Amino acid sequence: MGIVKSPLLVFACVLVFTGCRTESPPANPEASNRGIFDVRAYGAAGDDLHLDTKAIQSALDACGKSGGGTVEFPAGIYLSQPLTIRTKTTFQVDAGATLQATTNQMDFMKTPGDWLKAKSSGDFIPFISGKDLTDVTFTGGGVIDGGGAVWWGEAEKARQIKSGYTLPRPNLIVIERSHNLRIENITLQNSPKFHFVPVDCEDVVVSNVTILAPEHAANTDAIDPSGRRILITKCRIDVGDDNIAIKAGKKIPGHDFESEDITVTDCTFLHGHGMSIGSETFGGVRNVTVKNCTFANTENGIRIKSQRGKGGVVENIFCDGITMSNVDPAITLTSYYANNSSGDATQPAAADEPAKGSEKIPTYRNIHISNLTATCPKAAGTIVGLPEMCISNVVLENVSISAAKGFEIRNAKGIRLKNVSVKSANGSPFVLENAGVSGLEAK
């Protein structure tokens, strides 16, 4: 009687004689299920031991080549060197998944060498980058971790030697000149330097994102956007530098303002250096709204910072519904960018002398801050312009601040106080110099 060889039995025997190998199948972009490019199908191990860079980049490339889709990271820890994202890609890091940057600094250098001798952050490759993209989304409920601990120690040493110095390092995610960019329902943490940097991007939504770095991790800004039509909402940010810093360092052809129509709502800022504009404002910033945000234990609350040589026009800024506790100071509008938080660069000793020949003078105007309450262990705030360019047309309405020191207003005009209370434990609630302020008579 012959033996019946069933296909199932043959398959089982093959497994036995091959040691039951269970390697991932080779990548097959044509077989991706409904536009889902699972990085494990491209060979990613997700075991926090083996480098998954090649597999992940293959999935990203296949997604881009196919015309778009979702690159998915199932639960696991995916160790990777820098990656490049393609257009029309959803970068989905599932809950329980972490995309972990390697801790070898050499992996992030454009040219091999001593990373401590890099001249600028431009000498480094971001962990995730992309240029000239459309319809890109980061999402999924998981974590993207920059492994910043191996970078921060040297950065802090350099800052201690030279106050205000920023040791060059890579950023976590940098997307340039792109449209329809979303980042939502995800955690970014431990970037070597800035976490999320959309550069000259349009139609950007940042929603329900958590961004984390230790309180004293130098220069770990959370979100540093530039561009137009940007919404940042329902985010929780706890970092070592600016929670948000709107940038405008250059003139953009075809645009009067590099950064405009930006809204920040319903966010919670914990440790960090506040809701900032600057210090690069030469390209211009206008039409910024900050609403219903909470600040706790931050250095600075609402802040516009620039200086001669970096300045431009900042106008039409509206802040409303702001609650602050243990924040120093609550409001900072400064054209000197001098010692307002740890690491800020200082201005020359003769800073009160009008500049000669500079074309990059900070110009702040049309600023309305309303319905703000704050407690400040140190100073209540500052509005300090330049002798040659006063800060102008600022309204503080329904503002209540309790602080150890009062509110300094200098080189400013058209400052209007409406139902403003500053309770200073030491000295006058307002200190004025070359300032035109109305509403003080009601104090």
Average pLDDT over residues 325-354: 69
Q: What is the pLDDT of residue 179?
A: 98
Alpha carbon distance, N-terminus to C-terminus of the chain = 109
Average pLDDT over residues 219-233: 98
The type of residue at 87 is T
| Tokens matching residue 31 | 């077989």
Average pLDDT over residues 244-250: 97
When mean pLDDT is compared across 37-51, 329-343, 411-425, the lowest value belongs to 329-343
Cα separation, 235 vs 61, whole angstroms = 30
Cα separation, 328 vs 95, whole angstroms = 36
pTM, to two decimals: 0.90
Q: What is the pLDDT of residue 53?
A: 98
Q: What is the pLDDT of residue 164?
A: 81
Q: What is the pLDDT of residue 359?
A: 73
- Residue 46's pLDDT band, with cuts at 50, 70 and 90, is very high
When mean pLDDT is compared across 100-114, 273-287, 342-356, the lowest value belongs to 342-356
Q: What is the pLDDT of residue 163?
A: 82
Average pLDDT over residues 45-50: 97
Cα separation, 225 vs 197, whole angstroms = 6
Q: Does pLDDT of 19 surpass 60?
A: no
Please give the residue that has the higher pLDDT: either 141 or 8: 141
- Residue 346's pLDDT band, with cuts at 50, 70 and 90, is very low
Q: What is the pLDDT of residue 114?
A: 95
The three-point CA angle 265-267-268 to 5° equals 155
- Residue 354's pLDDT band, with cuts at 50, 70 and 90, is low
Cα separation, 279 vs 235, whole angstroms = 22
Q: What is the pLDDT of residue 33?
A: 59
Within 10 Å of residue 441's Cβ, how many Cβ atoms? 7
SS (H, E, C) 82-149: CEECCCCEEEEEECCEEEEECCCHHHHECCCCCHHHCCCHHHECCCEEEECCEEEEEECECEEECCCH
The three-point CA angle 296-391-292 to 5° equals 30
| Tokens matching residue 48 | 């926090």
SS (H, E, C) the chain: CCCCCCHHHHHHHHHHHCCCCCCCCCCCHHHCECCEEEHHHHCCCCEEEEECHHHHHHHHHHHHHCCCEEEEECCEEEEECCEECCCCEEEEEECCEEEEECCCHHHHECCCCCHHHCCCHHHECCCEEEECCEEEEEECECEEECCCHHHHHHHHHHHHHCCCCCCCCCCCEEEECCEEEEEEEEEEECCCCCCEEEECEEEEEEEEEEEECCCCCCCCCCECCCEEEEEEECCEEECCCCCEEECCCCCCCCCCCCEEEEEEECCEECCCCCEEEECCCCCCEEEEEEEEEEEECCECCEEEECCCCCCCEEEEEEEEEEEEECCECCEEEECCCCCCCCCCCCCCCCCCCCCCCCCCCCEEEEEEEEEEEEEEEEEEEEEECECCECEEEEEEEEEEEEEEEEEEEEEEEEEEEEEEEEEECCCCCEEEEEEEEECHHHC
- Residue 158's pLDDT band, with cuts at 50, 70 and 90, is very high
Q: Which residues of 44-64 are buried (b: 16+ CB within 10 A; e: fewer)?
A: bbbeeeeebbebbbbbbbbbb
Q: What is the pLDDT of residue 23?
A: 35
Q: Does pLDDT of 24 surpass 60?
A: no
Q: Does pLDDT of 124 surpass 80?
A: yes
Residues 207, 161: contact at Cβ < 8 Å?
no
Residue 184, CA atoms < 13 Å, CB-side half-sphere: 13
Q: What is the pLDDT of residue 353?
A: 61
The mean pLDDT value of the chain amounts to 90
Identify the residue whose tokens are 């601040």: 401
Q: Does pLDDT of 238 surpass 80?
A: yes
Question: For the domain bounded by 36-340+359-442, which CATH number is listed?
Answer: 2.160.20.10
Average pLDDT over residues 32-49: 91
Residues paired with residue 384 on neighbouring β-strands, in sequence order: 334, 410
